[in-house]
Structure 1
């Protein structure tokens, strides 16, 4: 499902499914972990579990990430080979975590990653960008919507972050690894970022279609999850944008700043359509799989880490306050973001959860992917899930949607775009591994300098 960077989140349409609420049928996976398990063992476990989504349940031909995987086997047959571009980018990062931690063999990973890059090189591209969904058997664009049948620049950005991380990880390796890195480099250089300014407007656009051209008409303006798109577009060695496009487009000429606070925490920016509490928590995750917010600043934001940390803490404090009195909400059970949801009839839908759109559904990726910002609160959630709520855990980690309020309702299903941020963001908390790969890429450093970002950690001045 698409994580919409809405100018007004309230306009989000819930995508309904015809299924009813259910709990997992795979009871062998649902044994409670002992209370004596250490924090490091718990982080290892959830990282290994999330890796299974992209290693064991990948699309068979392309080896990229499926849009969804349902343990209850309820999804349309034609979805089995639908791969998701952005989720696959998070999957690349997840696989690198698996290699670095010894969860999967390096040689096997190189072979699989090579298959992925070869597939992406032959798949449909639209001025270098990939579509939101791609058929994993044919490489053809699968329309996300009637007019959304061309390039998706934001999903392409999430994918490209992973591609650059793969390149950086293997570029000094053996001959096979260097060949993989070269394939990654060629894919990255083929994306025509500046095309997506619609003829030179000082803003990037999300979509372009050969059939419908610019009819989707969705400019990327802050603040939401799309910052990384501007970073990559400015960093491109072949089709880059200038700093003015970032300033006029993303920052809206600086007007996206906010002096509002919630729970005594400054928000710093206006969250599109969610200015009171901040948006869904994936806004603090997607751009930051590679972009290290630690003491990162630009002309307008003094510290991106504080921006993200405050957004997460506001969400956390809202759940602890629990103004709607949902059963279960509290210090061990919190986190609102987009994902599967519970419809009024008890069936499964999709929604962008955040404090102003709270339906009693907790999405585990929200707290788990927030580890860099809220390590204690995220660990409390992780420990609670694995030691107290085995019914919420499946073969690839916590299920996408849960609700204690509705009699421990869950749905035994996963989405790539949610499961894919868990292992990378936990690893960034533990070691900064993926941040270092991305931030030390030469083009990224140059792009950040172009946009007047500063980071002493990476010698960006």
Structure 2
């Protein structure tokens, strides 16, 4: 067991960010540039993790962990593969209609696990392509090619096809020709998907489709304010890894006198309130140990440390309030919330460093843990997975807190500005940009 002073050193933010960044160097395929879904041996690539990785390479350059040339070559390898890999109705293709399958063989790029052609995960991938293109703005051949490939990959996505003649975007498609029955309607991580689909240079959807998406919003009263509810933490965080929504509101937000950044701060406060009140009586929960989101856990009936029996949910979208909770927390929550609530995030990191040193796996936070379950230490059960999405979110959110790098880059992307405007966003940097232009 580490001494408390050593624990706090181990949990230093700089070190955690560098270790999280290292995931994308260690778990990318040198031939395809794709990023593994998890650090487990044999894991397939995740196109969403690849999108995070493409965005994180710029952080590596700025922090001195990677040379600009090396980072550009890594981006170029991935974009060349994405551009040239098979797009067809074939079951083992890499994608179709410009979209990509959720999981791909890391080395061949063929569809893995019979996964779906995923609209939202493709959006995360495209966001990574565009962020990399915005960063690599030089005149040498590699950086020029990065921008050309990113533009072509984005322009190829047939967002209108993904509507499947409906008023909102479908969640995906499976070969040989079946759309998933569920659609992106109501507040979710698909906020980023809609912005990209509205701002696309080709096959863009129309503003009424965003209006239909927002019609499904679930508003709840919180401390005299109106809050846009989503129980899992990642829903609030994923779009804002890329989108600077400070002071920006679409029509539903403006009508209620708030914005998505403030809404996320309320969501964090609600999670902390839930941990303090701890209605499930789970071990460890409190003001400085919180974070309910999508993660893995054991599944089935298990005896807790205090002797009670609890049904564990396996992989689930945990959240609060009004969400699923079986005592399983995500340890990366504090780092991902730094731009929104830095004091609460620092307090949580100090608390975890002092009391839960086993949460780090080779310097990186595990995907989840459940201190209510028996185990070798106070952490209880710890997920053996280190997850690419978690590491990418940590790298980007720490950097947005430190320097605002991803937000600065995406503010320069015309498609992002156009997508936000067509969705009805106003205020913040959008208004400042318009004022500066004339």
Normalising to structure 2: TM-score of the pair? 0.86
- Correspondence 1:306 to 2:262: yes
Q: Distance in 2 between matches of 1:87 and 1:334?
A: 24
| TM-fit CA distance, 1:383 | 2.6
CA contact (8 A) 1:152 1:207 kept: yes
Structure-2 residue corresponding to 1:319: 275
Structure-2 residue corresponding to 1:86: 48
CA contact (8 A) 2:275 2:285 kept: yes
Q: Distance in 2 between matches of 1:379 and 1:441?
A: 32
Distance 1:415 1:94, change over 3 A: same
Structure-2 residue corresponding to 1:66: 36
- Correspondence 1:358 to 2:320: no
CA contact (8 A) 2:198 2:422 kept: yes
Q: Distance in 2 between matches of 1:103 and 1:389?
A: 28
User: Residues 36-435 of structure 1 correspond to what in structure 2 (within 5 A)?
Assistant: 37=9, 42-70=12-40, 79-80=42-43, 82-123=44-85, 124-145=94-115, 148=116, 151-199=117-165, 201-214=166-179, 216-248=180-212, 250-252=213-215, 256=217, 258=219, 260-262=220-222, 264=223, 266-269=225-228, 271=229, 278-302=230-254, 303-344=259-300, 349-355=314-320, 356-407=323-374, 408-409=379-380, 410-435=382-407
RMSD: 2.4
Q: Distance in 1 between matches of 2:63 and 2:355?
A: 26
The secondary structure found in structure 1 opposite 2:314 is strand
The secondary structure found in structure 1 opposite 2:186 is coil
Q: Distance in 1 between matches of 2:4 and 2:72?
A: 34
The secondary structure found in structure 1 opposite 2:39 is strand
Q: Distance in 2 between matches of 1:357 and 1:122?
A: 41
CA contact (8 A) 2:7 2:353 kept: no
State the number of aligned residues: 405
Whose relative contact order is higher, 1 or 2, with alpha carbons under 8 Å and at least 6 apart? 1
Q: Distance in 2 between matches of 1:33 and 1:340?
A: 30
Q: Distance in 1 between matches of 2:150 and 2:276?
A: 44
Q: Which range moved further: 404-413 or 225-234?
A: 404-413
| TM-fit CA distance, 1:369 | 1.0
| TM-fit CA distance, 1:460 | 5.5
Deviations 1:11-50 (A, max 9, x none): xxxxxxxxxxxxxxxx9xx786637759xx9221111111
| TM-fit CA distance, 1:387 | 4.4
The secondary structure found in structure 1 opposite 2:315 is strand
Distance 1:131 1:460, change over 3 A: farther
| TM-fit CA distance, 1:185 | 1.7
Q: In structure 1, list runs of 5 or more residues that go unmatched.
A: 1-26, 74-78, 272-277
Distance 1:354 1:437, change over 3 A: same
| TM-fit CA distance, 1:58 | 2.4
Which aligned segments of 4 or more residues in structure 1 are displaced greater than 6 angstroms?
none
Distance 1:357 1:434, change over 3 A: same
Q: In structure 2, list runs of 5 or more residues that go unmatched.
A: 86-93, 303-311
Distance 1:138 1:332, change over 3 A: same
Q: Distance in 1 between matches of 2:130 and 2:6?
A: 39
| TM-fit CA distance, 1:348 | 9.7
Distance 1:84 1:453, change over 3 A: same
Normalising to structure 1: TM-score of the pair? 0.82
